[in-house]
Structure 1
Amino acid sequence: MIEATDISAPTPAKMAAPQTLLPARPEQGRALLTVLVVMAFLAALALLFARGADRLSDRWTAQLSSSSTVQILIMTEAERFAQMSAAQDILIRALPNDARMTSLSRAESARLLRPWLGDTGLPDDLPVPGVIRIDSEVRLPAESLETQFEAAGLRTVIDDHSRFSGQLKRTVGRLVLFGIVLLGLIGLAATAVSMFATRAGLAAQRDIIHVLVQAGATDGFIARLFVTQAARRGFIGAGIGAAMAAVLWFLISLGPARGSVGWRGLTDGALDGVALICLAILFALICASSAGWAAMRQLAYERRRA
């Protein structure tokens, strides 16, 4: 007796692995992925630099806004002690109780002039301006102080660093704008690369697309295949590029840049990590949307030609 064998359901060992409708071409995929990784790496560095510059500006602005200086134009060295004491008395009455006042000695004030006068020793009879530094969260009443200094016969210059703080903010604003423009240009480049890769894929896999059309596949269905492929490729490339940029920035933060644009602690790294993840998602969306747009246009063109 011959036993019947059920051949309708293949055994797991004989089942073929599911294949994608758009088979990948390893040589083309590696080259395109390399380009995406490089672009994502540059975009991530631009983002990290812009965020680091903005953090540095906030720290410097906070330090500048909480400190001021009063320069007393000493007439003669013999009058230094009297004029400095008179200026300190006026400041003590005008400043809040939590303010800290530091008077620089003549030698310390002279060191401030080295960038302009060099290391040459100053004559002992040369009147060096007296400098009083004030650390306070409260802004100095500059107009009232100037009136009191004038009444006491003192010639002073009050500097609350507002001008330098404004210049710093404008400079950092330009740097941040430069980073945003660079990110935009890299995004345009990623769009062009994704569109070119999609058109190349449509041309290389024309036979498969023809079979799908004969089987009743719509343009939207075929375009979604390229959208999925481009999104996956863009996210992987952006993830690798962003990770490389994060490692480089971490190494930079261990060096002299730690106190400047680099990370100062875990909070900075965590916030920038979230920003890099968002950048990778945006990169994938750019690649996917540009691939979908290019695929729909090309498929519509092919249908008109047919």
Structure 2
Amino acid sequence: MSGPLGTARVLDEGRGPRAMTGVMAIMTFLTVLAAALGLATAGTARLLDRQLAGRLTVQVIEGEPVRRDAAAARVLTTLRATPGVVRATPVSQAELARLLQPWLGSDAGSAALPVPALIDVDIADASDATVAKLTARVRSTSPMTRIDRHERWMSPVGGLMRTLTLVALALVAMLATATAAIVILAARGGLETHRVTIEVMHMLGSTNRQLAWLFQRRIALDALLGGIVGAALALGITALVGTQMAAIGSELAGGAMLRPVDWAMLACLPLAFVLLAILAARVTITRALGRMP
């Protein structure tokens, strides 16, 4: 009875799923979902940074259409001749009318409506100094211009994405801490439950190292089973949401799609939880057994 197999049967008397397995499944499920949220928001923030860096819109604000079009042509020529300008593309009045139609209705295409001419611009260097030089050069061509930086008016969205990423990382850290605490409580509870059995095993020659390994094995199996179940559910939900987002067809929603490396990181979370459970159990059990008479 003092061998490892006999001792394992005494200490591991439970049959069927244990409460520890269910708790680990829930914790892993929540952790994987939080990590998926963090990775998705981080991907969206990266996409925004790539798309908005160096993107400008030049507005030629002129009420009279003929003067507006002439000024826009001069500005476009200046932009295309400016070093560092990668692309300068005018937005057609028909496109502007289509964009304004939800707000202005049928009047959006009216020639009497003072709609500015728009030019989309991509620049290689998005620094403030470069933008300031470009602004001065454009306004020397036509004073009736205004330059809007996409990065400036979309920065709140990027800030929100980064905040959500940090919140998700904080949730993962908090859930990992809570999981370690649960494992510690479970280990202590198991030791108290089997205190008499442990004393008998000591008298029969079992060492603290053997007993610690058996408790550690029990907790590791529970954590592994719960981790697999919880991670499978979370990954399934994540894949379902990703499929629905892909069906939207939005470029911004596409930025939230997880990359292969992101899926690999999520798949590794159950293993990380098992290792965390083993470490927490080993430290707790070793210390508790060392204090037993």
Q: TM above 0.5, one fold?
A: yes
1:90 aligns with 2:74: no
Matches for 1:288-299 after TM superposition, within 5 Å: 288-299=278-289
Point out where structure 1 has 5 or more consecutive residues left out of the alignment. Answer: 1-17
Of 210, 217, 223 in structure 2, the residue corresponding to residue 228 of structure 1 is 217
Matches for 1:1-16 after TM superposition, within 5 Å: none
- Give the match for residue 190 of structure 1: 179
CA–CA distance in structure 2, aligned partners of residues 235 and 302 of structure 1: 29
Q: Do the aligned partners of 1:238 and 1:280 also contact (CA within 8 Å) in 2?
A: yes
Instruction: Measure how far apart 1:175 and its partner are.
Output: 0.8
Of 109, 128, 140 in structure 1, the residue corresponding to residue 115 of structure 2 is 128
In structure 1, give the amino acid aligned to 2:256: V
Q: Do the aligned partners of 1:55 and 1:261 also contact (CA within 8 Å) in 2?
A: yes
> Cα 1:232–1:66, aligned 2, differ >3 Å: closer, same or farther?
farther
Matches for 1:246-285 after TM superposition, within 5 Å: 246-257=235-246, 259-263=254-258, 268=259, 270-285=260-275
Once the two structures are aligned, what percentage of the paired residues are identical? 27
3-state SS of paired residue (1:88): helix
Q: Do the aligned partners of 2:61 and 2:144 also contact (CA within 8 Å) in 1?
A: yes
Deviation digits for residues 243-262 of structure 1 (CA, Å, limit 9, x no counterpart): 22222222222212562423
- Give aligned pairs, total: 279
1:79 aligns with 2:62: no
Q: Do the aligned partners of 2:31 and 2:175 also contact (CA within 8 Å) in 1?
A: yes
In structure 1, give the amino acid aligned to 2:198: I
Instruction: Measure how far apart 1:276 and its partner are.
Output: 2.3
Instruction: Measure how far apart 1:40 and its partner are.
Output: 0.3
- Give the match for residue 93 of structure 2: 106
Deviation digits for residues 219-273 of structure 1 (CA, Å, limit 9, x no counterpart): 343223222322232233222222222222222222125624234xxxx1x3123
Instruction: Measure how far apart 1:111 and its partner are.
Output: 4.5
Matches for 1:126-275 after TM superposition, within 5 Å: 126-139=113-126, 141-164=130-153, 166-257=155-246, 259-263=254-258, 268=259, 270-275=260-265
> Cα 1:153–1:96, aligned 2, differ >3 Å: closer, same or farther?
closer
Instruction: Measure how far apart 1:282 and its partner are.
Output: 1.9
Instruction: Measure how far apart 1:38 and its partner are.
Output: 1.3
In structure 1, give the amino acid aligned to 2:227: A
- Give the match for residue 21 of structure 2: 33
Instruction: Measure how far apart 1:284 and its partner are.
Output: 1.1
Point out where structure 2 has 5 or more consecutive residues left out of the alignment. Answer: 248-253
In structure 2, give the amino acid aligned to 1:292: R
CA–CA distance in structure 2, aligned partners of residues 118 and 31 of structure 1: 61
Q: Do the aligned partners of 1:103 and 1:131 also contact (CA within 8 Å) in 2?
A: yes
Higher radius of gyration, 1 or 2: 1
CA–CA distance in structure 1, aligned partners of residues 169 and 207 of structure 2: 38
Deviation digits for residues 14-42 of structure 1 (CA, Å, limit 9, x no counterpart): xxxx5562324125x43221111111011
3-state SS of paired residue (1:26): coil
User: Runs ≥4 in structure 1, deviation > 6 angstroms?
Assistant: none
Greater relative contact order structure (CA < 8 Å, 6+ sep): 2
